[in-house]
Amino acid sequence: MKITTNIEKFTNPLYLESGRILEPYELIYETYGELNSDKSNVIVVCHALTGSHHASGTYEGDRKSGWWDAVVGEGKAINTDEFFVICVNIIGSCFGSTGPMSPRYPSSKPYRLKFPVITISDIVKAQIILFDRLGIHHAHAVIGGSMGGMQALCFAIEYPNFAKKHIMLASTYATSPWAIAFNKVAREALVKDPSFKNGLYDPVEIKESGLFGLATGRMCGYISYLSPDSMEKKFGRNYVQTDGLYELFGRFEVERYLDYNGLNFVNWFDPLSFLYITKAINIFDARRNFDSLEDSLSRVKSELSLISFSNDLLFLPKEMLEIHQTMCKIGKENFTRYIEIKSDYGHDAFLVEIDKFAHHIKNILEEK
């Protein structure tokens, strides 16, 4: 599989939904496979909160592959023998695209809290501008899970002529107060940590000394990504062997897992990107600037497929079902399908239970 990693720089201003401007900005993106001569084989893959443009393949020296390596590749559900796949790191993120720790032109100092609030619409708009520069004006499909699914929906509504097919997994049309509450705890834990220094932290220093608030926040995120069943299977009530049951700080294995993954988070993700992207998720509402969900979905001109997971406790299946039902209600039943995958894994199923849904993606992409 041919993989390329590229950066594009833009000096034209990006006009944001908030009325603010991002100027200049850069987007890092990765491609898999080859663009065919009539540019009809493009598939856009959109990443989630902590994801990146690195969706597939394994970098030299890395233990881990891209976040959807099991889905994107030669002979896989998104078959790179057939399709040319693009995954763009979103603005606001910390893997190479312009985000809060990027220099604030003309200064060489980072934006930090002066970075503008971005929305899913802004994130998608930047991708459309990038594709335009690459000479790509149409895609076969846009696909994403979680926040990636929000982007797919946004493509379908705001750029109805861009892609033939849209696939949302484990996502929603408007973030619920329940999901906002999880983000609240995570954001609160972060900003109240004195080491966050109101956004003036030293990025190198926090990697060395730790940033407990971000760790705690990440732990809270993990709860929302998993489920009672997946935790029961993974950890049960196993207790850390070297800890005492009657020690106040003795730990269950599930606690050790949260500690490890929470504390490690600061090593690979930026605290301010975390704040800005969770904000974008919180304020995502596909009905904004429309009268209703019916009204916004009435803009959709092509296929919108919805794949939910029965045990997703962050974005409930019924939220996806509502999109499907609304599409049917407004006479677009031929453009929509709803698939609920039975899974105990919770929200994370779209990253781990590949075998359960990959064939659906394959079928949707191959259908004429």
Binding site for a copy of itself (CB under 8 A): 17-20, 113, 116-117, 119, 174-178, 180-182, 184-185, 188-189, 191-194, 212-213, 215-216, 219-220, 222-223, 226-228, 231-232, 234-237, 245-249, 252-255, 258-259, 262, 275-276, 279, 282-283, 285, 313, 316
Of the residues 52, 102, 146, 227, only one is catalytic, namely: 146
User: Judged by CB, which is closer to a copy of itself: 233, or 299?
Assistant: 233
User: Judged by CB, which is closer to a copy of itself: 161, or 198?
Assistant: 198
For residues 349 and 311, give the distance between their C-alpha atoms in angstroms, rounded to a whole number: 9
Amino acid at 360: H
User: Judged by CB, which is closer to a copy of itself: 19, or 61?
Assistant: 19
* b/e map 286-322, b = 16+ CB within 10 Å: beeeeeebeebbbebbbbbbbbbbebbbbbbbebbeb
Report, in Å, the least distance between residue 252 CB and a copy of itself.
5
- Beta strands 14-15 and 21-22, pairing class: antiparallel
For residues 200 and 189, give the distance between their C-alpha atoms in angstroms, rounded to a whole number: 16
Of 173, 133, 167, the C-alpha closest to 150 is 173
User: Judged by CB, which is closer to a copy of itself: 135, or 249?
Assistant: 249
User: Judged by CB, which is closer to a copy of itself: 37, or 249?
Assistant: 249
Report, in Å, the least distance between residue 290 CB and a copy of itself.
14
Report, in Å, the least distance between residue 351 CB and a copy of itself.
18
3-state secondary structure (DSSP) of residue 60:
coil
Report, in Å, the least distance between residue 279 CB and a copy of itself.
6
Among left, alpha and beta (phi > 0; psi -120 to 50; other), residue 261 is alpha
Report, in Å, the least distance between residue 256 CB and a copy of itself.
10
347 counts as catalytic: yes
User: Judged by CB, which is closer to a copy of itself: 140, or 279?
Assistant: 279
Distance of CA 177 to the CA centre of its chain: 19
- Contact indicator for 186, 278 with CB cutoff of 8 Å: yes
Amino acid at 119: T
Of the residues 93, 270, 347, 348, only one is catalytic, namely: 347
Of the residues 193, 270, 312, 348, only one is catalytic, namely: 312
β-partners of residue 166 are 142, 304
Cis check: omega of the bond before 194, within 30 degrees of 0: no
Report, in Å, the least distance between residue 272 CB and a copy of itself.
9
- Contact indicator for 96, 53 with CB cutoff of 8 Å: yes
Look at the chain and count its residues. 368
Report, in Å, the least distance between residue 263 CB and a copy of itself.
10
**DSSP H or E run through 136:** none
Query: What is the crossing angle of helices 147-158 and 271-282, to 10°?
Result: 50
C-alpha neighbours within 13 Å on the C-beta side of residue 11: 1
User: Judged by CB, which is closer to a copy of itself: 30, or 270?
Assistant: 270
- Give the pair of three-digit tokens for residue 275: 């704040």
- Contact indicator for 41, 82 with CB cutoff of 8 Å: yes
Active site (catalytic) residues: 146, 312, 347
